[in-house]
């Protein structure tokens, strides 16, 4: 028989039977005496266990069930099993709660829970960063007291949240947020915030880019049309006509160069990263860079060239050659005749460095951060005279970033410039044994060694 009551009744019946037997054999006194003692013992046993149960229920920790014996064993072991199940369930819920709180905190979007009075109930890490608030100190505060911008307060109090609000925060670094209120439980709201600074900047860059491309193409096109009309409307002799046609061809070539450079840039942006497996023969590549620079200089500069043997790169040879050539050609174009240029390739630490130094016109510090922007030229007319599109460094930066290289420049007006490209260990390979060391140094070149400031481009 299972259960406390039936087993107690069974025990009482057993005791009554034994007591009745004793009464018949030893007399009624003995029988009643025995029965009363049995009932008393049973009562004491039950009272002891009830007291244990009472203490356990009202005790501080209900995790461990008290030791029991006899017919109470069953009750206590059922309690124990139920208790274990509840503890397991509670722990699972606690884990789930902690995990969803962690997920909420780690979201890249800002989430702030506001009550009906627009007071902060909870917020995650991103919201803390977006609004400069803190979970510890600002819970219970009205959000409009903490973000004190009229347009924000107007949006929060408006009640119509169909459209998000774009808010330029009053913080130093000009953070632009997209903010939206979403109804949540019991007249609470979720205040969602998203950092759209980059997207905003990108929009401006795109608009500027379209304006720049149109402007850059319109200039040669206007000149071209002007010449065409002159040739059409005026009776020109054969020599003049040829001169005009040559000038027109030059403008046409300029437009072609711009378009080719733009296509190169867009191809670089959309192409996958160059694989690390393809070894570039640096001796050949550097010889090509040097030949191009010497041809462009046509003997007007002293060009020194030092290349450390045994250092090769892994990546795309075309992209590296185009980046290096642009740096070397820039040095030639922006260094007056009689100046010196030094091109170097060497191992540095565990990586490698390519650098081009010149003692040419140099660049004013204010221009340094913008040099790698598309179409950015310090002196537009001078660059145009030398055939520049202002896209060379933008292409170089992209190509180098794809090889995890960093570009740095040190320059001072009147003293010269030094452009250096650092490649990480992961891109450097020991050269093939048969490759020939190229090491030609021409004497007499002087360089300003202490060029400042140095600008390191983010790649
Ligand atoms: N070595 C240098 N000395 C002085 N100024 C330089 C030097 N290299 C680059 N610059 C400046 O940086 C600008 C941008 O260079 P970039 O190579 O992007 O364009 P570019 O040489 O004008 O045209 P492109 O390279 O597209 O033919 C140049 O117009 C020039 O003003
Ligand atoms: Mg250039």
Q: Is 435 exposed, middle or buried (0-12, 13-18, 19+ CB in 10 A)?
A: middle
Supply the pLDDT for residue 47.
93
Ligand 1 close to Cβ of residue 322 (< 6 A): no
Distance CA 433, CA 424 (A): 22
List, for residues 134-177, the tens digit of each pLDDT value. 988 999 999 999 998 999 999 999 888 989 999 998 876 789 99
Residue 318 has what pLDDT?
92
In ligand 1, the atom with minimum distance to the C-alpha of 393 is: 18
pLDDT tens across 22-77, in order?
A: 999 999 999 999 999 999 999 999 999 899 888 888 877 666 777 877 888 888 88
Ligand 1 pocket check for 390: Cβ under 6 Å: yes
- In angstroms, rounded to a whole number, what is the distance separating the alpha carbons of residues 134 and 139? 8
Of all protein residues, the one whose alpha carbon is nearest to atom 1 of ligand 1 is 331
- In this structure, the residue with its CA closest to atom 23 of ligand 1 is 388
CATH code linked to domain 107-195: 3.30.450.20
The fold for domain 279-456 equals Heat Shock Protein 90 (3.30.565)
Whether the bond between 74 and the residue before it is cis, its omega within 30 degrees of 0, is no
Q: Which of 334, 361, 417 to mutate to test the pocket of ligand 1 (most atoms within 8 A of CB)?
A: 334
pLDDT at residue 382, rounded to an integer:
67
Boundaries of every domain in the chain: 4-102, 107-195, 201-270, 279-456
Pocket test for ligand 1, best of 255, 296, 332, 371 (most atoms within 8 A of CB): 371
pLDDT < 50 stretches in the chain: 1, 434-445
Select the CATH number that applies to the domain covering 201-270 from these four: 3.30.300.20, 1.20.1250.20, 1.50.10.10, 1.10.287.130: 1.10.287.130
Ligand 1 near 356 CB (within 6 A): no
User: Which of 258, 358, 390 best tests ligand 1's pocket when mutated (most atoms within 8 Å of CB)?
Assistant: 390
Q: Is 393 exposed, middle or buried (0-12, 13-18, 19+ CB in 10 A)?
A: buried
Q: Considering every ligand atom, which ligand is closest to the CA of 216?
A: 1
pLDDT at residue 384, as a whole number: 66
């Amino acid at each position: 028989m299972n259960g406390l009551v039936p087993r107690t009744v069974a025990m009482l019946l057993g005791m009554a039977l034994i007591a009745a037997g004793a009464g018949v054999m030893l007399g009624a006194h003995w029988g009643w005496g025995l029965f009363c003692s049995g009932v008393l013992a049973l009562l004491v046993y039950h009272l002891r266990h009830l007291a244990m149960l009472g203490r356990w229920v009202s005790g501080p920790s209900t995790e461990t069930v008290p030791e029991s014996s006899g017919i109470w064993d069953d009750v206590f072991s059922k309690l124990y099993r139920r208790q274990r199940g509840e503890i397991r369930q509670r722990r699972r819920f606690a884990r789930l709660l902690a995990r969803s709180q962690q997920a909420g905190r780690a979201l890249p979007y800002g989430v702030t829970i506001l009550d009906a009075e627009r007071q902060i109930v909870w917020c995650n890490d991103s919201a803390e960063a977006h609004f400069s608030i803190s979970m510890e100190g600002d819970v219970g505060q009205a959000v409009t007291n903490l973000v004190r911008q009229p347009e924000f307060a107007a949006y929060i109090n408006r009640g119509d949240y169909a459209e998000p609000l774009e808010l330029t925060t009053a913080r130093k670094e000009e953070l632009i947020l997209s903010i939206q209120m979403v109804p949540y439980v019991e007249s609470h709201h979720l205040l969602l915030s998203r950092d759209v600074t980059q997207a905003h900047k990108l929009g401006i860059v795109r608009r500027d880019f379209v304006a720049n491309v149109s402007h850059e193409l319109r200039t040669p096109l206007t000149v071209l049309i002007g010449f065409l009309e002159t040739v059409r409307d005026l009776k020109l002799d054969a020599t003049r006509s040829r001169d005009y046609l040559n000038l027109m061809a030059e403008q046409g070539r300029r437009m072609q160069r711009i378009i080719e450079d733009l296509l190169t840039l867009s191809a670089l942006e959309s192409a996958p990263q160059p694989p690390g497996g393809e070894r570039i023969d640096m001796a050949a590549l550097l010889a090509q860079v040097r030949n191009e620079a010497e041809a462009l200089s046509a003997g007007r500069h002293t060009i020194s060239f030092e290349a450390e043997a045994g250092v090769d790169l892994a990546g795309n040879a075309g992209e590296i050659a185009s980046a290096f050539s642009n740096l070397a050609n820039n040095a030639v174009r922006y260094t007056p005749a009689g100046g010196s240029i030094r091109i170097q390739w060497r191992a540095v630490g565990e990586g490698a460095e390519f650098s081009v130094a010149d003692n040419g016109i140099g660049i004013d510090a204010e221009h340094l951060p913008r040099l790698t922007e598309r179409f950015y030229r310090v002196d537009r007319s001078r660059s145009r005279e030398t055939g520049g599109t202002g896209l060379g460094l933008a292409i170089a930066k992209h190509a180098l970033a794809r090889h995890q290289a960093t570009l740095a420049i040190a320059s001072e007006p009147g003293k010269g410039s030094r452009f250096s490209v650092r490649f990480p260990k992961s891109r450097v390979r020991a050269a093939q044994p048969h490759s020939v060391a190229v090491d030609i140094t021409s004497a007499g070149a002087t360089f300003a060694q202490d060029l400042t400031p140095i600008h390191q481009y983010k790649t």
